Structure 1
């Protein structure tokens, strides 16, 4: 009897780190390079195929549907609560800005504002230490008692607060709005990767609507004061509607990428009986090495969407039919064809694809990398002998999510 396809019933969000490791190993042992999922997405997991799809350089590959809800707009339209929120907050529909922007010229302009030499999310070598100190302060303020590690400590909650503070400040939201950033981010993330229904779907659309409303207010405020990320976009001549979407997308993507990577990384670091990688955090350059490996193996964002507009044969020979695809870079980052020993700390291999590839590389990459590094280093310095506490929820109780992943982590 043929072996069951890995991740057919459970997603990365519902597995322990060792189960994820085994699932991805089995995935790469399969002879076929793609598979149709019951969500309607075609799953692709081999490194070279994922890289080509993420780059989206061929005319047959489009990024235009990257931010389309997994359940489609039709289900939103027939949900009275959801369509009410949509009409109140999301009409006219948001402009394309980063992930789904197909205008190459405008895309380059927006990306340069975020990640170019003078980009707002760029971490320069001469200011890296200062930026890290600011992130460390956000870590201290995220703890239940600022500056202290209490026992037990809900690392999941702390990581979400930490990520929301960082992203909220970076895009220029007033501090009073920072606590809600996680809810708004969760709304867009959930709509992209989960099959929501009923009230859950309506609540997610409502939260997404508030995300864009607040982003619009931030851009409008910048017209008078010219400050923060919205002011930076305005100074670069980015159209206001595109600027609003750039702010909203940055908020949505940043929180779950950073917090989910921290959660899954901590699960691995403290779940290992030998705790070798956890101990590395106490070494001068250890946190940077560990953070890079966490973002390769255990990213909070494990996949992204592309759309095949016409059947295509990829450079590897993989044939893909017309339709939506899910590029599984959480899997590609472990492809034995690209990495000699993906589970080894310093193994040789190609560039991990966690933050995309080519012109569609995530503009928040440098900030996210530093944020994960600082969190792990600061937590280790305050609780070097931390132990995992069995959470009340098992991984199985987390929702199925094809794009975003995390873990419930409590330590003492």
Structure 2
């Protein structure tokens, strides 16, 4: 029995490796094989049941089918019991995470409250919504963040190497931190704090690593709490003011701020890292050259967010056995909804690797009532970075393994790449 299970795990394209450990070429091949798998679900060794067909992923992300729940969306992969059993983690839990953070967006099951929080963040006049008349102003602010990051890292202005991975993380942290309303003094740590929440969601941590992640997660909520408290008076502005004016309780406002930081940083930075790898690996630079003009840049950014998103999957739960509209049967238990894979389903995207290929709406930012409230901001952030990088280094070339020797970690939810370019 054990031997048979080992063989099954090895044969399944994502049984042993995650997207975070692969180059874009290997991801392309494994996603292709995934959509040839004879069954529509797979019981992953993590305990999560994987689903990847477009129709199934869309239905489960929407979570309106009876029996499907979003309640576990932000649960740590190792479970709360493992954290409670880790002595090094407990002081950080007591200091920062007692009482436990409130559900805010991804894991909020109160439909009316969820609608009010989401509308405050992403409705027609929501905080993270970028209206057509604001794009130029917001893009200019993001470009300033890009150049501020490059200057702060003492990157040379000609020749030598650019560490795209480091730059993209710092850029995403500044962009998201500013949008959420953290003071600039906190921006340098945003990536560390948000990385903790992301890591807890998608990685099987133990011991000191788990404790360090809990500590950083705790600081993410503590800093969000401070920022929310400081901005809830009569002079409050920005995100905290909007949440207050919408009648959102402070506990939920803190979680909304912390969750926005975590999701935004790694969705943006991971997409940029993997996307630059794809763009520069093409000897003819067909997509790279399109970054010179706004329409081409927007098209390329949208395609990279479809093919190479920094967030590749999300969690849901079947509270009872569920039969989806496609006929796919889901037993009760936690689910891993692989929207990065669904974005390549031949049934929905016949030519997914074609920049001009037709297809349905990519599911990178979710679907239905749980669509990501930061979608427009994250999309613009990717566009701006790519355009600025091209202008800074139009003849950039990939430098294999420069400064990146450690293997990338297994991560079921988030994905990135170690990318250095030569000017």
Report the secondary structure of 2:72's partner residue.
Answer: coil
Q: Which one is further off, 263-272 or 224-233?
A: 224-233
Q: Distance in 2 between matches of 1:284 and 1:182?
A: 28
Q: Which residue among 309, 317, 342 is the counterpart of 1:299?
A: 309
Residue 95, structure 1, aligned to residue 102, structure 2: yes
Gaps of 5+ in 1: none
Residue 218, structure 1, aligned to residue 220, structure 2: no
Report the secondary structure of 2:317's partner residue.
Answer: strand
Aligned to 1:388: 398
Shift of 1:291: 0.2
Q: Distance in 2 between matches of 1:262 and 1:23?
A: 21
Q: Distance in 1 between matches of 2:285 and 2:405?
A: 21
Q: Distance in 1 between matches of 2:260 and 2:273?
A: 20
Q: Distance in 1 between matches of 2:242 and 2:281?
A: 42
Q: Distance in 2 between matches of 1:25 and 1:35?
A: 16
Aligned to 2:384: 374
Taking structure 1 as reference, are residues 346 and 328 closer, same or farther at Cα in structure 2, changes over 3 Å only?
same
Contact 1:303 1:402 in 2 (8 A): yes
Residue 308, structure 1, aligned to residue 318, structure 2: yes
Aligned to 2:206: 197
Contact 2:402 2:420 in 1 (8 A): no
Q: Distance in 2 between matches of 1:45 and 1:21?
A: 14
Residue 241, structure 1, aligned to residue 251, structure 2: yes
CA RMSD in angstroms comes to 1.5
Q: Distance in 2 between matches of 1:58 and 1:394?
A: 44
Taking structure 1 as reference, are residues 55 and 393 closer, same or farther at Cα in structure 2, changes over 3 Å only?
farther
Q: Which one is further off, 227-236 or 37-46?
A: 227-236
Aligned to 2:165: 156
TM alignment of 1:104-123, pairs within 5 A: 104-123=111-130
Shift of 1:100: 0.2
Gaps of 5+ in 2: 1-6
When normalised by structure 2's length, the TM-score is 0.95
Aligned to 2:43: 36
Report the secondary structure of 2:315's partner residue.
Answer: strand
Contact 1:54 1:327 in 2 (8 A): yes
Residue 262, structure 1, aligned to residue 272, structure 2: yes
Shift of 1:147: 9.6
Q: Which residue among 168, 171, 174 is the counterpart of 1:165?
A: 174
Residue 321, structure 1, aligned to residue 312, structure 2: no
Taking structure 1 as reference, are residues 183 and 394 closer, same or farther at Cα in structure 2, changes over 3 Å only?
closer
Shift of 1:59: 2.2
Shift of 1:151: 2.3
Report the secondary structure of 1:81's partner residue.
Answer: coil
Shift of 1:280: 1.1
